[in-house]
Amino acid sequence: MKTRFKAVVSAIVPFILLILAYIFFTKTSALTKPQLDIIELSPYAVFLIGSAISWKFNRSRELFTLLILSACFAAVTFLPGQTGLHVQHKDLNAIIGVVIPLNIAVFSFFKERGILSLWGLLRIGFILSQLVLAGWLLQPARRESLNFLHKDLLPVNLHSLTSISQVPLVLSLIALIILVARYAFTRASQEVSFIAVLCALLIMLHEPGNSVRLAVFFVASGIILMTSIIQDSYSMAFSDELTGLPSRRALRQEMMKLGMNYTIAMLDIDFFKKFNDKYGHDTGDDVLKLVASTIREVTGGGKAYRYGGEEFTILFPGKSVSDALPHLEELREKVSKRGFNLRSKGRSSSNAGSRSQGSKSSRQIHITISIGVSQKNDKNKTPDTVMKAADSALYRAKKKGRNCVSK
């Protein structure tokens, strides 16, 4: 439940930032000229910081998007005013409206493969070639060739609704559909941040020509991308990649917050080495995920963590061993009764700490866990000593024959 709540929050954050940007923009009319000048320069500061963060965290998709955003912002700020160039806002906006969604959509299909790697350099080449092409198209002699960007693709007249030309509009909508579909499949908060950046672009292009509005939404885009990197890095540091449970680092933090009374349980899958030897490490990983998903649902106010390997820890803040015991018994029984379907053909018989039944193509195996539990008392006064006592109890549970709880 809590993970779902976190996922919803991280999906909403980029849009809250967009709303804040809009509220801020509505207040900018009351600002003085020097204050407005600072706002118009702020996208560069945000892009610089954002690029440094993306570089540090090796996030090429964000870095390249920030580079494109910087180039687009510099182009709309400087080019139209240049004498001799005769660059029109209308053409520039159409180019920006094509370049940003195109790159965001294309980069969404690439796996993270580094910035200065061959793949990263190819992407830099792709971005540079677009800049060269845009510069070439904006020359007065080629202006005619830009007319295709203003053509109406749809059989409806949208000019009274928005000043965005139909080519960039359709491209942005295609990019949005791609990102929403990717989010539906991956649930990655990164996709949401790019969806929000595309929305910021549409807001900017909807009413172009206002440099403060442009600056505010470019800044918002940069902040949205930075927030996504920081959010992901946080969850990477504090949650376990395989099982999705909070990691040992999160456990260490929670242990420091435990108060006067608490109980700690240590859980360990029985004969897991034999299981791996019999069914393979990949199947072992799958089963580990399923066991973790059962352990996550522990009742009685317990919170589960992956301690490491096939070991888990459950903290029961404010609870005694007798409070926690029925919930741990229930959990142990739930795991032992839950069947795991194996699709691959494992070699038959041999005791691998698991019972298996069914046909060759789909067999059901059963996994058991042993649990040791201990509480804070006069003998064990710190979370570390309580954990050690729970570990000794776990050892006793193994000695007793496994698939049991010891205190």
Q: Which residues contribute to the site for Mg ion (CB under 5 A)?
A: 268-269, 272, 310-311
Interface with ligand GH3 (CB under 6 A), residue total 17
- Helical (H) or strand (E) element with 220: helix 211-238
56 binds, among ligand GH3, Mg ion, none (CB under 5 to 8 A by kind): none
Among 123, 251, 268, 291, binds ligand GH3 (CB under 6 A): 268
400 binds, among ligand GH3, Mg ion, none (CB under 5 to 8 A by kind): none
- Output the CA torsion 118→120→124→129 (10° steps): 60
91 binds, among Mg ion, ligand GH3, none (CB under 5 to 8 A by kind): none
Residue whose CB is nearest to Mg ion in the complex, by number:
268
Among 165, 247, 276, 354, binds ligand GH3 (CB under 6 A): 276
Q: Compute the least distance from the CB of residue 372 to ligand GH3, in Å.
A: 12
By CB under 6 A, the residues from 227 to 256 that bind ligand GH3 are 242
Q: Compute the least distance from the CB of residue 176 to ligand GH3, in Å.
A: 38
- Helical (H) or strand (E) element with 296: helix 281-296
* 399 contributes a contact to ligand GH3 by CB under 6 A: no
β-strand pairing of 405-406 with 369-375: parallel
CA atoms within 13 A on the CB side of 101: 25
- Collapse the DSSP code of 290 into the 3-class scheme (helix H, G, I; strand E, B; otherwise coil) and give the result: helix
Enter the tokens of residue 234: 């946080």
Among 37, 285, 297, 329, binds ligand GH3 (CB under 6 A): 285
Q: Compute the least distance from the CB of residue 363 to ligand GH3, in Å.
A: 18
Burial (Cβ within 10 Å: 0-12, 13-18, ≥19) of residue 404: middle
Among 43, 208, 284, 302, binds ligand GH3 (CB under 6 A): 284
User: What are the E-state strand segments in 302-390?
Assistant: 303-308, 311-317, 339-342, 355-358, 363-366, 369-375
* Residues known to be catalytic: 310
| Angstrom distances, CA of residue 384 to CA of 196, 261, 351 | 44, 14, 35
By CB under 6 A, the residues from 297 to 326 that bind ligand GH3 are 309-310
